[in-house]
Structure 1
Amino acid sequence: MTFRKAIGKLHLWLGLASGLIVLIVSLSGAVFVFQDEIRDLTQPWRKVAVQARPMLPPSVLQATAAQAKPGFTPSWTTYNGSDRSTAVYLSKGEEVYYAFLNPYTGQLLKVQNLRSDFFTLVQYLHMYLLLPPAIGKWVVDVAVITFVVMLISGIVLWWPRNKAARKQRFSVKWDASPKRRNYDLHNVLGFYASAFALVLALTGLCISYEWLMTGVGALANGGRSIAAENAEPTVDTLLTARPARPVVDIAYTRMRQQSPQAEMLLIGPADNATAPVWCTAYGKALHYYHRDEYRFHPRTGQLLLVQPHASKSNGKKLADMNYDLHTGLILGFGGKVIAFVVSLVAASMPVTGVVLWWGRRHKAPRRRPALATA
């Protein structure tokens, strides 16, 4: 068996084994790409009028959210921008809600059940196939790794052997037979989308595996690990003096002072005496790359760590960029369009591949030429 035939067999059987999962993951990813735009069109409580007064501190908004859902604990609070509502995460056991409030007035705008939210379900379908996370994550990750191998093997199979073949590999012959069109769609679209699809697949694996993201960051740093930059500060549990204001309000004020240009602020809960309060200031609303990171003492509000975006290594910046790369956000709306189209092409690959395989297995028998009679 030649090397090319061996690659073809590998490509075929890996595709048949993972095709359905790749189809589901790709389609759900395409839907999820435009979640913010669709939410803004269908969920009016996400937007508020800009007012000429400061926003309320998180403790006030959290108290209002807790009153809306008695028995639920408020935790993560996100200020999404000057013209957007603030979201407070509420939880009780496995029940989770988002309370959306006007950050200027404290008015409760909406309490949303995340377990029944459409895009939350799409996200879980994309990440876990709606299976228990421990099982679904493993199944999806194996399928994505298989997809990466298929992309590489597909390029090997696509690679033209001569000039004549090269001319035929870059365009779809729309006026050809259905079988030929399907063949061209599988090969030509797969080639054009392969580089972008590889980025989407690898960034998805980096979300799943921290060690992989750490390795990519070290590679971007020329071998220097980013582990030190990811290290969390130690909390001195002997410090118990309570400040006059809630710790989350101290964190909010400090971030506003040190990151005045930040449009979006994420403030973690201060309910763990041994872990720092995890807070982040993002340069642009609904974008996650440019970020200044802060850590505060959960009891005293003491600032334990400041990590501005400008001071981070290239590897750490690449790690921060990973989600925006995965969704196309890094290039704005145009990048989302690219991610959407590439996801659709990736979803089409198992379909056109199966049709191609089925057609080869069920070829119409060739008619033998009639024998000339004497």
Structure 2
Amino acid sequence: MTPFKKIILFCHRWLGFISGLVVFIVSITGCIFCFQDEIQDALHSYRKVEVQYKPYVDPSILKAEALKDRAGATASYMYYYGIDRPAGVLVNLPKNQMLYVYLNPYTGKIIHTENPAKNFFIIVEFIHLYLLLPARVGSLVVGISVIIFMVIMITGLILWWPKRKSDRKRSFNIKWNGRWRRVNYDLHNVLGFYATSIALILSITGLSMVFESVREGIYTTANLGKAYPSEKVIPKSDSLLKAKVNSKFVIDKAFASAQTRSSKAEMFLIFDDASTSGTIGITAFAQSLHYYKSDEYVFEKYTGKLLKQTPHTQKSPGLKMNDMNYDLHVGQIGGLTTKIIAFLASLICASLPITGFIIWWGKRKKSKSKKVKAVVHRRVHKQHLA
């Protein structure tokens, strides 16, 4: 092995020791989370409603119903998930507690109330994002470990790459009929090679959720450095209008406007900023439970005046890439096929720290055995000479 490859091997091995446990946890939880929508749909009947060919009830009605008999509670986020799915209101209770209230979007009646902290897949998501540590600390630990993992993948590719053409066919296949150590070695190297490209995509999209600098880097790179100042503008409501206008049903007016402008959208997210200069933000998504291809609207919270609109077709390439981030990360960008690919890639990534440790442990034992044999040989040789 050349001195360069020895350095690469040293980095690959010790970076693996540093990040291995976190990589395993993040990968296995990502693997579990891939099919969370399909699993929850199969387990929970409240995630589906009977389609009724009439308009949705107004968001003000949903909000009022969700907050009924909950003193001190507020609600800023509301979802209309689709024509055959419930609406949802995220209720903030006193003492930093939350409830997710599901309602029939056609009648406004509550069909299910859930504590997000007790939902299995939300727990899995929090482990994936923060390792159940405080958010700031956990996200930093995960982010740094993912960066290290990306370096490990690249160094592993350098170490694995066959020198001779005659070795390449053998290097791309697992020798299933070999001894278990050989099979483990092939699982680490061959599967690691096949998963590298997908793993790097999953890593970069994950990092963009942790580090704003990565998100901005994707935005700038996709835009080839070109600036789009209008996309950075954040409108504000005129707080002086608060006492002059009855704004109780403005959210309904804003939602109706967004529905008209994005008539083919399947899912809507409404964010009602509670601050005095805050706005009503409505995002219309082209497909239910998918977050790519969305039209964004910002309304004045006291009059319902449209302050800003950003249709998907007019977004910059960088903004489209950032919108695509979640769907890429969970593998749903291309439907079931890409979900399966993301699932398998995550499973392989979870296995790499284990197979890598077994390789290291086997070489360590072999090295110790050689040293012991050498010592015994020297002692026997000295006795023979004596």
SS in 2 for 1:331: coil
> Equivalents in 2 of 1:288, 1:227: separation in Å?
23
| Match status 1:153 vs 2:143 | no
Residue 342 of structure 2 is aligned to residue 339 of structure 1 = yes
Contact 2:99 2:114 in 1 (8 A): yes
Equivalent residue, structure 2, for 1:176:
178
Aligned equivalents of 2:69, 2:39: Cα separation in 1: 26
Give the aligned partner of residue 108 of structure 1: 110
What percent of counterpart residues are identical? 43
CA contact (8 A) 2:205 2:329 kept: yes
Counterpart mapping for 1:301-320 below 5 A: 301-320=304-323
Aligned residues: 372
CA distance in 2, matches of 1:227, 1:128: 33
Q: How many angstroms apart in 1 are the aligned matches of 2:73 and 2:23?
A: 37
Distance across 2 between alignment mates of 1:13 and 1:272 = 49
CA contact 1:271–1:298 (8 Å) conserved in 2: no
- State how far apart, in whole Å, the 1-side matches of 2:10 and 2:87 are: 53
User: Residue 196 of structure 1 corresponds to which residue in structure 2?
Assistant: 198
Residue 384 of structure 2 aligns with which residue? none
Of residues 141, 144, 155, the one that matches 1:142 is 144
- 228-237 or 125-134, larger mean C-alpha shift: 228-237
Query: 1:78 corresponds to which letter in structure 2?
Result: Y
Report the equivalent of 2:26.
Answer: 25
Q: CA deviation at 1:236?
A: 2.8
Where does residue 231 of structure 1 map in the other structure?
Answer: 233
Give the Cα separation in 1 of the matches to 2:122 and 2:136: 17
- Identify unmatched segments of 5+ residues in structure 2: 382-386
Match of 1:365 in 2: 369
SS for the counterpart of 2:68 is: helix
Give yes or no for the alignment of 1:132 onto 2:99.
no
Letter in 1 for 2:45: P
Q: Are the aligned partners of 1:218 and 1:226 in contact in 2 as well (CA < 8 Å)?
A: no
Aligned to 2:43: 42
Q: Which is worse superposed, 188-197 or 161-170?
A: 161-170
**TM-score normalised according to structure 1 size:** 0.95
Alpha-carbon distance in structure 2 between the residues aligned to 1:205 and 1:270: 27
What's the CA shift for 1:215? 1.5
Q: CA deviation at 1:337?
A: 0.8
What TM-score do the two structures reach when normalised by structure 2?
Answer: 0.92
The reply to whether residue 296 of structure 1 matches residue 299 of structure 2 is yes
Q: Which has the larger radius of gyration?
A: 2
Match of 1:216 in 2: 218
Query: What is residue 63 of structure 2 aligned with on the other side?
Result: 62
What is aligned with 2:283? 280
Q: Contact 2:236–2:300 (CA<8 Å) still a contact in 1?
A: no
Kindly state the Cα deviation for residue 294 of structure 1 after the two structures are TM-superposed: 0.6
Measure the CA separation in 2 of the matches of 1:57 and 1:348: 49
Which of residues 250, 256, 260 in structure 2 aligns to 1:257? 260
Distance across 1 between alignment mates of 2:216 and 2:57: 37
Q: Residue 199 of structure 2 contacts residue 345 of structure 2 at CA under 8 Å; is this kept in 1?
A: yes
C-alpha contact (below 8 Å) 1:33/1:339 kept by paired residues: yes
Q: Which runs of 5+ in 1 are unaligned?
A: none
Q: Cα distance 1:179–1:81, how it changes in 2: closer, same or farther (>3 A)?
A: same
Whether contact under 8 Å (2:140, 2:210) holds in the other structure is no
Segment drifting more, 339-348 vs 356-365: 356-365
Tell me the C-alpha RMSD between the 2 structures.
1.9
Given that residues 214 and 227 in structure 1 are in contact (C-alpha distance below 8 angstroms), is that contact kept between their aligned partners in structure 2?
no
Which residue pairs with 1:53 in the alignment?
54
Counterparts of 1:320 and 1:78, CA distance in 2: 18
Structure 1 residue 43: Cα displacement: 1.3
Counterpart contact for 2:299–2:305, Cα < 8 Å: yes
